Amino acid sequence: MAGPLHGRLEYEEIRGARSVVSSPRVLRGRGAPARLCEGCYLMSESSETLNGTNPSVRVYPAPEGAVLRDEYAVRVRPLRDAGDGTRVDAGDGSVADAGWRDVPVYRVKVNMHDVRESSMCYFDFDGRVEVEVRVKGWYTMYRADIRPLSLGVEPRLAEANRLVFTLDKPANLSVEINRERQHNLHVFAGSLRCAPDPESGAEPADVTVPGSLTRPSTLGCYEVNERIEAALDTGRPRAVVRIEPGYHYLADGVWNIPSHTDVIIEGGAVLEGSLVIDHAEDVRVRGRGVLYLADFKRFSGTSGVVVTFSKNVTLEDLILINPPHYTVFMGSSRDVTISGVKTFSCEGWSDGIDMMACADVRIADCFLRTSDDCIAVYGSRWQYRGGSSDVSVRDCTLWADVAHPMMIGTHGDHEHDGDVLERLRFENIDVLEHNEYQSGYLGVMAINAGDKNTVRDVLWRSIRIERISRGRVFDIETKWNTDYNPAPGRLIENVRIEDVDVATGGDEEPSLIGGYDAEHPVRGVTIRGMRRDGHACGSLAEANAQVLANAEGVELSR
């Protein structure tokens, strides 16, 4: 396999000639329009076509210091029409081989059990684009898959080592050559309409952190915070910080972002270090930049973004490369929005998005490939006290190389009466992998109530599970996990599992529903519209599910 290299690419944005934007297809199993970012939604087939717009592409630079890979070469270009309103597709002789722009490909690491180097690239576009992927130094391609399958993106093998595909809407994709899922290519194609435009002047910055594409620099966090404070002292409701493209080492490896701050990390900016939002409010961190943490030690306890004892926090569109601990950790916080975040991890306990004692949390349009739980909802732990409630997870793609894609319930206030975790919603989720070999930690959808916790009012709806290498579809149990829990969970009640598609074929174990004992039961689990390989399940046996002791009110229907 090819190794890492360092390099850079000049910023380029190109626009096509006359074109129309076709209405994006409705994705299989999708309901309401998927939210792209604040105020921006995907259109359904019933939406009107946007006429008179030119397709455009923005490719971001890779600054000197960024760790790249040369296993794949990626190009992108806008697709134009033929002048008569009809689309001109790739390979049509009426379109010249022009307009291509090279896209930098970053190195990421995946799968803690067998750490591999994988690849990632990103760009933004509007209209319709063609993407070209060339495999460098590999054997001949005989097959290509682009997942999630629900997006319906069809690759075309143009040559022995080249494939192309088209996009007419934003997408987070895994491009897999010859079924290779460890050395695959991740393509994050975002919405240009939602991307911060440094050239527009629409968002003037109070503080600008200059960057260089040729020389890494140190971001003096203390000095930046002093300038933020000075801007707020003038009476401004919020200070805007803009970080320009370049490689930035955070001083001391951590930036504590103060209240009333809007941080824009531009595409082409790489920040090496962790962002901390603690005892703060009204904080927004956004942009197309990268947080790089692959060189931090495994047991440093360093997370990508930490949100603790805070409220009104928004994280948008960041890419995180290999934090040794959580991608986003939340403790005792409320009113938090996380959208468009992408991450990779390859260490033990390197969860995706975890929360302890949080409320009013919204997670949408994220791509999380992790070596522990992708998303976990807990009660009390460490200094964070209380239950968690009103959590919504929508329109995400989850890939758990290890452990659960979705986990609820383990930690709580065992010293008193436990916590309540309630009103938790997971909707329109693509699960690309569930792989776990420890028998007590199985389940794509898991509620493992411990520490005297009560878990209630949980919904999983429109869940598409493409692969279970090892594990089970769901595990709903009050448990006493002696590794983490001084006491079993108290109760699980009112759980709904609706419209779930499962592709079989791996080492799948039966799903389980059961209570620890009669005093710690499971009550009221409804399963509707579950399908296995496209066949509707009319019984628990067909669903490969078992009801254990101390569970009541379990219902399954087509």
- pLDDT, tens digit, for every residue of 55-112? 799 999 999 999 999 999 999 999 976 554 445 554 444 344 578 999 999 999 999 9
Structure-token match 């409705």, residue found:
26
3-state secondary structure of 117: strand
233 by DSSP, 3-state: which?
helix
Q: What is the pLDDT of residues 256-274, one digit of tens each?
A: 999 999 999 999 999 999 9
On average, the pLDDT of the chain sits at 88
Mean pLDDT to the nearest integer, 438-442: 92
Q: What is the residue type of 353?
A: I
CATH architecture of the domain covering 4-24+50-194 = Sandwich (2.60)
State phi, psi for 224 to the nearest 5 degrees: -65, -45
CB 256, CB 276: distance < 8 Å:
yes
Helices and strands (DSSP H and E) totals, the chain: 1, 48
Q: Does residue 3 have a pLDDT over 60? A: no
Residue type, 175: V
304-361 tens-digit pLDDT: 999 999 999 999 999 999 999 999 999 999 999 999 999 999 998 899 999 999 999 9
Quick one: DSSP state of residue 403?
B
User: How much of the chain exceeds pLDDT 70, in percent?
Assistant: 86
pLDDT of 80: 78
Is there a contact between 460 and 445 (Cβ–Cβ < 8 Å)? yes
For residues 132 and 76, the answer to whether their CB atoms sit within 8 Å is yes
Question: Measuring CA to CA, how many Å separate 410 from each of 266, 440, 519?
Answer: 37, 12, 18
Q: How far apart are CA 318 and CA 450, in angstroms?
A: 33
Q: How far is CA 22 from CA 36, 43, 53, 146, 373, in A?
A: 17, 10, 11, 21, 37
Residue 272's CB: how many other CB atoms inside 10 A?
22
Strands 116-126 and 106-110: antiparallel
Q: List the one residue out of 115, 174, 508 whose CA is nearest residue 348.
A: 115
pLDDT in tens, 505-537: 889 999 999 999 999 999 999 999 999 999 999
Per domain, the residue ranges of the chain are: 4-24+50-194, 373-557
User: For residue 205, what pLDDT is reported?
Assistant: 94
Pairing mode of beta strands 40-41, 4-6: unpaired
Q: What one-character-per-residue DSSP string does 446-464 give? A: EEEEBTT-EEEEEEEEEEE
Q: What is the pLDDT of residue 298?
A: 63
E strand or H helix at 222, and its extent? Answer: helix 221-233
| CB neighbourhood size of 331 (10 A) | 22
DSSP 112: G
Find out whether 427 and 393 touch, Cβ atoms under 8 Å: yes
Which residue(s) pair with 14 in the sheet?
Answer: 57
Cα 298 to Cα 402: distance, rounded to the nearest angstrom: 16
Taking alpha carbons only, the member of 319, 5, 63 closest to residue 216 is 63
d(C-alpha 225, C-alpha 209), whole Å: 12
Mapping DSSP to helix (H, G, I), strand (E, B) and coil, where does residue 477 land? strand
Question: Which distant-in-sequence residues (6+ apart) come within 8 Å of 45 by Cβ?
Answer: 23, 24, 25, 26
- pLDDT score for 479: 95
Query: How many Cβ atoms are within 10 Å of 540's Cβ, its own excluded?
Result: 18
Look up residue 205 and give its two tokens.
């910055």
Block residue for tokens 């999708």: 30
d(CA 155, CA 146): 7
CA dist 302 and 297 (Å) reads 8
Each as own residue / partner, the long-range contacts of residues 225-230 (CB below 8 Å, 24 or more positions apart, any chain) are 225/256, 225/257, 225/258, 228/258, 228/261, 229/258
445: which strand partners?
Answer: 406, 474
Q: Which residues are CB-contacts of 43 (< 8 A; sequence separation ≥ 6)?
A: 23, 24, 33
Cα–Cα nearest to 400, from 369, 440, 429 = 369
Q: What is the pTM of this model?
A: 0.90
Cα–Cα distance between 77 and 62 in angstroms, integer? 18
Does the pLDDT at position 192 exceed 60?
Answer: yes
What pLDDT does residue 197 have?
A: 77
**Which pLDDT does position 300 carry in this prediction?**
65
As given in the structure block, the two tokens for residue 393 are 């997870």
Q: What is the pLDDT of residues 411-421, one digit of tens each?
A: 999 999 999 99
Q: Are 150 and 29 in contact (CB under 8 A)?
A: yes
- What is the DSSP secondary structure assignment for residue 33, as one 8-state letter? P
Q: Which are the contacts of 470, defined by CB distance < 8 A and separation ≥ 6? A: 434, 435, 436, 437, 442, 506, 507, 508
- Measure the CA–CA gap between 426 and 362, rounded to whole angstroms: 10
